[in-house]
C-alpha cells in the first residue's frame, strides 16, 4: 500500500532533466567511492522527538513548536528554525561530528521541494517530531498533532522506495545498509505515563516499560527490513533533574523519574542485544545519555558549565514553569503567527522558500510574557524547561561519537561507521 505522501514526493524526470543527470552522476560516484575506498560521511536518517527535531513540527497543527523567539537566538541570524534549542541541537551536533554543517532537513520540509526530493534524500532526512513518542498516542493529548515513531518509519519507507527507483534494488540495498540510522525517543512516553496521559496509565511501570520495549523492537526491526543495518540509539537522560520537574520539587531531582529512566535504558539495551542475535548484519551503538548527564551534573566545571539546575530561558522557579516563548498566542484571536493572506509575505515565502511559511510578522494577538533569558547560554546545561543548550548538545554528541563504553556500548558512533 502506498504511503499517504506518495503523490507529493514523486518526481517526473522529464520535467526536471538536470535532476535526472545529477542522479546518474550520483550513482556513478557511488561506484567510484566503493572502488577506491574513499571515506565519505554516512548518509543520516534521523528519528525521534524534540531532541532531534529540526523543524518537522513547523508543518503540523501542534502546540509543540519552537519557531518563535527566543528559540534559535544563537542560530544564524537568530532565526527560530523549529529546533528546541538556542542554536543547534543534538542531531545537528552529531552530524557535525561526521563533517556535515548540521542535520539534514526534515522530511516534511524536503517534500515541499518536489523537484529535488530524490536528490536530497540521498544525503539524509530528519523525521523527528517534538512531543512524539514510541506509542502512537504519546503527546497527542497535551500537544495535538505530532508524528509518532511508527509514522516516522512509514515516511522512511517512502524514502526507501524512491531510493530503489533511482538506484535499482541491488545498489539501493547497499546504499541504505551503509547509512546511519539515529534514534532518540522515549522521554515523552515516560512523562505522559507519569501524567496519566499515555493511554497505558492503568498499567504498572514494569508493564508500561514492556509495552514501550515491544513497540520499540517492532519499529527498529521494520527499519532493518527496509535495509537499515547500522543504528545509533540514544537512551533518555535523568528526566527527574530537568527544570520542568525540579521547579515543582524545591529544586531537587525526583528519584522515581530517574529510576524510570535507568529502567528504560536497560529495556532498550536488552532489545538491541536480542536484535543483534536475531538479525544478520545488525550493528548498534547505544548511547547512555543518563550516564552522560549524570557526569556533567556531578562535575559541571570540567565541562565548562556553571549552572546545571536552572534553564537559561523560561519563566518561574528555575525558569522551569513554562517554555521559552517571548510571546503567547491569546485564544480566539487572529489567525496565528503567519499571515497567509498578506501579499508581500506570500510572495516572499513562495519565491524564496518554495511556499514554506518562514517569513512572518508580529501577531497583534500575541501578548508578551515575563520571560527570563540568560546572557551566556554556554554556561548552562539546560536551555529551557525540557531541553539542553547548544553547548550541552555538542558535549553529548562528542561523547556519543568518541566516548568509551561507560557512555556508549558496545561501540561509539565513529567505530560503528568505520
Helices (H), 168-249: 169-178, 187-194, 205-225, 243-246
C-alpha cell at 177: 545498509
Q: C-alpha angle 138/177/23, rounded to 5°?
A: 100
CA distances to 201, 205, 293, 390, 410 from 380, in Å: 34, 32, 13, 9, 30
Is 50 considered catalytic here? Answer: yes
Largest CA distance in the chain: 64
CB atoms within 10 A of CB 141: 13
Burial class (CB in 10 A: 0-12, 13-18, 19+), 228: buried
Pairwise CA distance, residues 397 & 402, whole Å: 9
C-alpha cell at 222: 521494520
C-alpha cell at 262: 535507568
CA distances to 258, 348, 353, 360, 366 from 343, in Å: 51, 9, 15, 12, 22
Strand 230-234, strand 307-311: pairing: unpaired
Q: C-alpha angle 230/162/97, rounded to 5°?
A: 35
**232-265 b/e (C-beta count within 10 Å ≥ 16 → b):** bbbbbbbbbbbbbbbbeeeeebbeebbebbbebb
C-alpha cell at 296: 556533567
C-alpha cell at 260: 524510570
Q: C-alpha angle 215/217/221, rounded to 5°?
A: 120
Task: With CA atoms as reference, report the closest residue to 354 among 3, 6, 73, 8.
Answer: 8
C-alpha cell at 84: 528546541
Active-site hit among 3, 10, 50, 174: 50
3-state secondary structure of 136: coil
- Residues with a catalytic annotation lie at 50
Amino acid at each position: 500500500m502506498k504511503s499517504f505522501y506518495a503523490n507529493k514526493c514523486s518526481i517526473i524526470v522529464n520535467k526536471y532533466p538536470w535532476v535526472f543527470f545529477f542522479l546518474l552522476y550520483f550513482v556513478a560516484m557511488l561506484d567510484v567511492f566503493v572502488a577506491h575506498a574513499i571515506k565519505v560521511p554516512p548518509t543520516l536518517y534521523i528519528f525521534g522527538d524534540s531532541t532531534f527535531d529540526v523543524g518537522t513540527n513547523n508543518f503540523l497543527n501542534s502546540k509543540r513548536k519552537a519557531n518563535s523567539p527566543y528559540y534559535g537566538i544563537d542560530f544564524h541570524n537568530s532565526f527560530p528554525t523549529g529546533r528546541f534549542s538556542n542554536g543547534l541541537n543534538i542531531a545537528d551536533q552529531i552530524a557535525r561530528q561526521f563533517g556535515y554543517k548540521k542535520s539534514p532537513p526534515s522530511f516534511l520540509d524536503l517534500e515541499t521541494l518536489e523537484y529535488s526530493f530524490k536528490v536530497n534524500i540521498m544525503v539524509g532526512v530528519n523525521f523527528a517530531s517534538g512531543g512524539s513518542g514510541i506509542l502512537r498516542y504519546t503527546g497527542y493529548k497535551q500537544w495535538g498533532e505530532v508524528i509518532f515513531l511508527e509514522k516516522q518509519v512509514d515516511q522512511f519507507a517512502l524514502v526507501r522506495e524512491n531510493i530503489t527507483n533511482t538506484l535499482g534494488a541491488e545498489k539501493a540495498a547497499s546504499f541504505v545498509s551503509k547509512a546511519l540510522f539515529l534514534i532518540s525517543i522515549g522521554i515523552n512516553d515516560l512523562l505522559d505515563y507519569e501524567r496519566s496521559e499515555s493511554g497505558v496509565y492503568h498499567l504498572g511501570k514494569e508493564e508500561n516499560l514492556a509495552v514501550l520495549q515491544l513497540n520499540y523492537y517492532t519499529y527498529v526491526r521494520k527499519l532493518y527490513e527496509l535495509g537499515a543495518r547500522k543504528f545509533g540509539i540514544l537512551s533518555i537522560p535523568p528526566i527527574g533533574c530537568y527544570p520542568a520537574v525540579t521547579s515543582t520539587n524545591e529544586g531537587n531531582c525526583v528519584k522515581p523519574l530517574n529510576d524510570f529512566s535507568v529502567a528504560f535504558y536497560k529495556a532498550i539495551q536488552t532489545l538491541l542485544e536480542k536484535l543483534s542475535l536475531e538479525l544478520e548484519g545488525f550493528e548498534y551503538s547505544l548511547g547512555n545519555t543518563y550516564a552522560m548527564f549524570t557526569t556533567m551534573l556531578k562535575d559541571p566545571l570540567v565541562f565548562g558549565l556553571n549552572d546545571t539546575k536552572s534553564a537559561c530561558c523560561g519563566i518561574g522557579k528555575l525558569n522551569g514553569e513554562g517554555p521559552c516563548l517571548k510571546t503567547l498566542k491569546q485564544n480566539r484571536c487572529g489567525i496565528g503567527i503567519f499571515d497567509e493572506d498578506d501579499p508581500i509575505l506570500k510572495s516572499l515565502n513562495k519565491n524564496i522558500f518554495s511556499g514554506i511559511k518562514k517569513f512572518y510578522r508580529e501577531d497583534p494577538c500575541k501578548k508578551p510574557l515575563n520571560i527570563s533569558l540568560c546572557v551566556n547560554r554556554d554556561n548552562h546545561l539546560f536551555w529551557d524547561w525540557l531541553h539542553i543548550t547548544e553547548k550541552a548538545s555538542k558535549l553529548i554528541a562528542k561523547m556519543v561519537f568518541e566516548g568509551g563504553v561507560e557512555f556508549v556500548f558496545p561501540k561509539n558512533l565513529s567505530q560503528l561507521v568505520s
